[in-house]
Amino acid sequence: MPAKPSASRPSAATSPPAAAPAARNGTPHARHASNGDKGEAKILFQKYFKSVGPRTYATQLKEAGNGNHFLVLTEGKRDPVTNEVKKLKIFVYSEDFPAYFRMLHETAQFIKAHPVSPEIKMKRMRHWAKKEAEQATAAREAAERQAAAKPRPVPPAKLPPKPGARKPARGR
């Protein structure tokens, strides 16, 4: 199988440092580890897109410390309960590029020849529109609950005058 899951290769060489700035969508990007670690992979190119649902897809072409290139395909999906982003990564190494891209091209040709039916497309569009409306409603309700939970300022109570205190003169 040409695409190798991340568990089959060491992943320490593919994690960019957290503090490093991200490249723009689709722009060539060259970066080395600032700490001089030779195991850090250099990002040569990356591109991503946000799906209609909760997923984001990304692709990166990286260069390993030994000069070999590899492709990293990532699907990121936010968990609605924990708000944590779960990532699934697939690594394709340069020795597998010809077979992998041939397989991908053949799959794309099949998809073009056998597209999803218009009924299914409409069903999926309605599904995601409903999900989007539910999220908007939930966000609005959460904002309303937060606003209702904020304590409102209480006007200071009028205290009775102290004994022997004079009232201010009016209308001189």
At 79, is the pLDDT very low, low, confident or very high (cuts 50, 70, 90)? Answer: confident
Percent of the chain whose pLDDT exceeds 70: 71
Whether residue 13 is contained in a domain is answered as yes
CATH of the domain at 21: 3.10.450.700
Domain annotation covers residue 91: yes
Total domains, the chain:
1
What is the domain range of residue 77?
4-96
Query: Is 81 within the bounds of a domain?
Result: yes
Q: Whole-prediction pTM value?
A: 0.56
3-state class (DSSP) for residue 31: coil
Give the whole-angstrom CA distance, residue 77 versus residue 15.
18
Cα gap 58→33, rounded to integer Å:
21
Q: Is residue 65 part of a domain?
A: yes
* Residue 94 DSSP code: G
The alpha carbon torsion through 18, 47, 1, 100 (nearest 10 deg) reads -150
- pLDDT tens-digit map of 87-116: 999 999 999 999 999 999 999 999 999 999
| Residue 147 located in a structural domain | no
Residue 50 lies in a domain: yes
The CB density around residue 91, as the number of other CB atoms within 10 Å, is 19
Whether 13 has a pLDDT exceeding 70, the answer reads no
Contact (CB, 8 A) for 85 and 75? no
Residue 92 lies in a domain: yes
Whether 55 maps to a domain, the answer reads yes
Amino acid at position 134, single letter: E
